[in-house]
A and B are shown apart, each in its own frame.
Chain A
């Protein structure tokens, strides 16, 4: 963006200023916001084209595309914020196909009155997340809604990626006998959000696990050619995601509660709040279903990656006409692990 001529005599006041309706009007104020805030931080060659779209060449092959809206409250939470989350969430959705994520788009819906300082903090965080993941934001959009019609910032990101030949990862490929792996401790994100909610504040060292998992996935795909399913257990937690996979593949599952990694602080917070960590959201974990013969080599690869250090084998796929996910409890009994019913906690991502 070095070639842009200074069109705005007074700089955008990102210290004391606030979003107003003119920032979404399509006029000069919007152009200034885009230039002095979004492009300044998210800068890259494709975004710098300055068009309403980004133009780039693609190789022949299969592509994946995914989109994700982010409405989390609060905007800033222990271990992350809505900006980084919007980057990680979509990268992960793309990566769960085994793809290499290439580019992101971002659409912002801003509420009138939002401090520009908050917006800048979010965009900087987004830029850092995108840079460290090496997946740039190449196009975007900004809208402003009247005060009271939004909640600070909503961000929708879309990502595209390419899948290598021979990689065929899908939620309908779980087979009886397959092993179920999880990449680390569950429930960290949801509990971190809860700890910072206005009416529920409690002190904890728990941080959100928000992270981009595409390099972990790349290592896994390189090590084992035929991974059957990958999915990130976000809203609804491990329990709901496993039910989705069981339903999609027409199989049952049997988990071993003792094997499921849970941070003791998360367990304690859940105990206090009457929640079950199996249903609490994650933003930096994945579930992998694979042939039992591949389980150990995958676990080795996962544990060697910073985002898979606590990876564990937590159960296996079985035949079940009802598609039940069941669990042997640590106590020694059996129970069903059902879909999440109702709403455990709204607006967590």
Chain B
């Protein structure tokens, strides 16, 4: 596979592994937070950790859109799906996310709700065209990468006059979440989480560019390297971060130059700005209420906003008792620190959202890295100020 295999080449991985071992100072610990679930997945799927020196650790961040959605919003989606006239369309992973009362969209589907899995917003629009008598609600989730297609869908629905199509918008913003993590007491005061630098998102950055990270790289003095999702990208970016850390720099560097520019995709940004505006605050699982961290549909497109078309109450729902998803999403705990991990919570029967998506840290640990679990339990992340 041209242009893919080149980024998974074993020979280059060995060379990079040696370069990282040579660059990393054996007297200190390097804690690199990969914000994105896509990176978490790549690290586990390809066994990247095996090629890193022992003192370079990846701390898994909250960048899994399925994982960070609070239970209350999934309860909302189930309530929408259970309305007789509604067809609820969503991406596959959302179907299995546990909601309150051991429900999920998949279980709602089994008991009669019309829930359809779609691969893109185009599929949802097609369903709306095919069923003009039904209320077709697209349960939109995701970071900046999936937002432009939702914007396109809303504009398309307007121009086609699909009056019964609407979007239940749950789009969230990456920079706000990173800033929230850096401002959290665990990082700033308590020091129970030490993050020396960030692997910046790849697909998200293709839309927003590398510029938005410049503020907090400077403000919080943490280096950021925008990294592609292939395993060699991850290793090259780790090397770039280690160099910055060693040299005391805290810049935004771009490893993923084949896709990401400083400005990002202007056209996509304009589309998003046309359809969406900032929400005053949005609840993230793990992070709590984060100001200006999500989008809502502008009033010009109010007809296509499911939150205006239907009664969507604010639901305060709590996680399953013992579930450590919130701490895992902040990098405070590891999946293996959770009592439920691998006992009652497995990908077949997920109790928390991090066990659902392949981008979730728990699912990645369980599915790809379980043979390391006993050692992982003993590793404590040291605080290196």
Q: Are A338 and B96 in contact (CB under 8 A)?
A: no
- Scoring B residues 1 to 42 as 1 if CB is less than 8 Å from chain A, else 0, what string do you get? 100100010100110010000000000000000000000000
Complex formed: what's the CA distance from A26 to B347 in Å? 46
**Given A329-B45, A333-B46; A199-B123 close (CB under 8 Å):** yes
The reply on A131 being an interface residue by CB < 8 A is no
Shortest Cβ gap from B5 to chain A (Å): 8
The reply on A331 being an interface residue by CB < 8 A is yes
The reply on A259 being an interface residue by CB < 8 A is no
Complex formed: what's the CA distance from A121 to B119 in Å? 31
The reply on A61 being an interface residue by CB < 8 A is no
Residue of B1, B44, B51, B96 with highest tally of chain A CB at under 10 A: B1
Question: Chain A: which residue is nearest B4 at the CB level?
Answer: A271
Majority SS of interface residues in chain B?
A: helix
The reply on A148 being an interface residue by CB < 8 A is no
Q: Are A335 and B47 in contact (CB under 8 A)?
A: yes
User: Looking at the complex, which one of A199, A264, A322, A332 makes contact with B47 (CB distance below 8 Å)?
Assistant: A332
Complex formed: what's the CA distance from A342 to B14 in Å? 35
Q: Are B371 and A332 in contact (CB under 8 A)?
A: no
The reply on B370 being an interface residue by CB < 8 A is yes
User: Looking at the complex, which one of A200, A333, A341 makes contact with B367 (CB distance below 8 Å)?
Assistant: A341
**Given A199-B118, A199-B123, A268-B1; A332-B369 close (CB under 8 Å):** no
**Given A329-B46, A331-B46; A338-B231 close (CB under 8 Å):** no
Q: Are A333 and B370 in contact (CB under 8 A)?
A: no
- Scoring A residues 270 to 301 as 1 if CB is less than 8 Å from chain B, else 0, what string do you get? 01001000000000000000000000000000
**Given A271-B1, A341-B346, A342-B347; A331-B368 close (CB under 8 Å):** no
CB-contacts of A331-349 with B (<8 A): 331-336, 338, 341-342
How many A-B pairs fall under 8 Å by CB?
71
In the complex, what residues of A have CB within 8 A of residue B371's CB?
A: 322, 324, 326, 334, 336
Complex formed: what's the CA distance from A278 to B354 in Å? 23
Complex formed: what's the CA distance from A264 to B2 in Å? 10
Question: Chain B: which residue is nearest A336 at the CB level?
Answer: B370
Complex formed: what's the CA distance from A267 to B4 in Å? 11
Complex formed: what's the CA distance from A331 to B14 in Å? 9
Q: Are B366 and A338 in contact (CB under 8 A)?
A: yes
Shortest Cβ gap from B348 to chain A (Å): 5
User: Looking at the complex, which one of B50, B118, B366 makes contact with A334 (CB distance below 8 Å)?
Assistant: B50
Q: Are B348 and A342 in contact (CB under 8 A)?
A: yes
The reply on A2 being an interface residue by CB < 8 A is no
Question: Chain B: which residue is nearest A276 at the CB level?
Answer: B45
Shortest Cβ gap from A48 to chain B (Å): 44
Shortest Cβ gap from B107 to chain A (Å): 13
In the complex, what residues of A have CB within 8 A of residue B368's CB?
A: 335-336, 338
CB-contacts of B367-385 with A (<8 A): 367-371
The reply on B49 being an interface residue by CB < 8 A is yes
Question: Chain A: which residue is nearest B46 at the CB level?
Answer: A331
The reply on B312 being an interface residue by CB < 8 A is no
Q: Are B119 and A333 in contact (CB under 8 A)?
A: no
Q: Are B370 and A324 in contact (CB under 8 A)?
A: yes
Interface size on B, residues (CB 8 A): 32
The reply on A330 being an interface residue by CB < 8 A is yes
The reply on B162 being an interface residue by CB < 8 A is no
Complex formed: what's the CA distance from A157 to B370 in Å? 39
Q: Are A331 and B231 in contact (CB under 8 A)?
A: yes
Q: Are B367 and A336 in contact (CB under 8 A)?
A: yes
Q: Are A332 and B119 in contact (CB under 8 A)?
A: no
The reply on B48 being an interface residue by CB < 8 A is yes
Complex formed: what's the CA distance from A199 to B44 in Å? 30
Complex formed: what's the CA distance from A342 to B356 in Å? 9
Complex formed: what's the CA distance from A133 to B86 in Å? 49
Q: Are A332 and B1 in contact (CB under 8 A)?
A: no
- Scoring B residues 202 to 238 as 1 if CB is less than 8 Å from chain A, else 0, what string do you get? 0000000000000000000000000000010000000
Question: Chain A: which residue is nearest B93 at the CB level?
Answer: A342
In the complex, what residues of B have CB within 8 A of residue A334's CB?
A: 47, 50, 371
Shortest Cβ gap from B330 to chain A (Å): 25
In the complex, what residues of A have CB within 8 A of residue B46's CB?
A: 329, 331, 333, 335
Complex formed: what's the CA distance from A45 to B98 in Å? 56
Complex formed: what's the CA distance from A336 to B49 in Å? 13
In the complex, what residues of A have CB within 8 A of residue B366's CB?
A: 338
Complex formed: what's the CA distance from A274 to B49 in Å? 22
CB-contacts of A307-333 with B (<8 A): 322, 324, 326, 328-333
Question: Chain B: which residue is nearest A273 at the CB level?
Answer: B119
In the complex, what residues of A have CB within 8 A of residue B44's CB?
A: 335
In the complex, what residues of A have CB within 8 A of residue B370's CB?
A: 322, 324, 336, 338
- Scoring B residues 44 to 60 as 1 if CB is less than 8 Å from chain A, else 0, what string do you get? 11111111000000000
User: Looking at the complex, which one of A326, A331, A336 makes contact with B8 (CB distance below 8 Å)?
Assistant: A331
Q: Are B45 and A335 in contact (CB under 8 A)?
A: yes
Q: Given contacts A264-B1, A322-B370, A333-B231, list 9 more A-B pairs with CB under 8 A.
A: A274-B358, A324-B370, A331-B8, A332-B14, A334-B50, A334-B371, A335-B369, A336-B370, A342-B347
8 closest A-B pairs by CB: A333-B47, A341-B347, A333-B50, A331-B46, A335-B368, A338-B367, A334-B47, A332-B10
What are 19 inter-chain pairs, A to B, with CB distance below 8 A? Answer: A199-B126, A267-B1, A268-B1, A271-B1, A322-B370, A328-B47, A330-B10, A331-B47, A331-B48, A332-B13, A332-B14, A333-B49, A333-B231, A335-B44, A335-B45, A338-B347, A338-B370, A342-B96, A342-B347
